[in-house]
Amino acid sequence: MDLIGHVFNDSLVLRLGDVTCRIEHVGGDHSADSSVILVEPDRVLFLGDCMYDTFYGRKPHYTAKLLAPLLDRLQSFDADYYVRGHDSAVLTRTEFARLVVKMRLAVKLVEEFGPDEGAVFSAAKERTGETPDEDLAYFLQRMIAGLILPTVSTQQT
């Protein structure tokens, strides 16, 4: 199979004997062209860098405009295992769902409280019953940064 020079817009399906690889464009803050690969029948979703924050602008950040639909799209895949681009751990469906809950909470709290870090972190503690862990704190800080910094768009217009 010669795929050199092949370009896809939304998706591409590769059949490799008993294995099917579905490549899907998902976008996101990290890069407008982020794509994932679902390997069937193993139900492994290779996420690449799509879940990472943007590296454009003066400070890494997420935006609700891009993160919320990305999370919706990623949760729509029928996967049991998730592999992120710079993480050696393979996440189970349950572990991935826990991470997504934290990311969605960060989106919601920053939309509610704006760039007031004290109010956002206080609300996070109130809603979860504990001080934000390292992951949630990271997502909250990156979401706040997405509100207060002028950014270079990663999305094509």
pLDDT in tens, 90-121: 999 999 999 999 999 999 999 999 999 999 99
CB atoms near residue 87 (< 10 Å): 12
Which token pair is 82? 């998730």
- What pLDDT does residue 63 have? 92
The residue written with tokens 């295992």 in the block is: 81
- What pLDDT does residue 154 have? 47
Confidence of residue 1 (pLDDT cuts 50, 70, 90): low
Summarize pLDDT for 118-134 with one digit per residue, the tens.
999 999 999 999 999 99
Task: Kindly state the percentage of the chain with pLDDT values over 90.
Answer: 72
Residue 89 has pLDDT above 50, yes or no: yes
Calculate Rg over the CA atoms of the chain.
17
Query: Which distant-in-sequence residues (6+ apart) come within 8 Å of 55 by Cβ?
Result: 30
- What pLDDT does residue 92 have? 97
| Comparison of pLDDT for 44 and 85, the residue scoring more | 44
As a whole number of angstroms, the distance between CA 102 and CA 82 comes to 16
Which token pair is 95? 């572990």
Predicted structure pTM score:
0.85
Summarize pLDDT for 14-52 with one digit per residue, the tens.
999 999 999 999 999 898 889 999 999 999 999 999 999
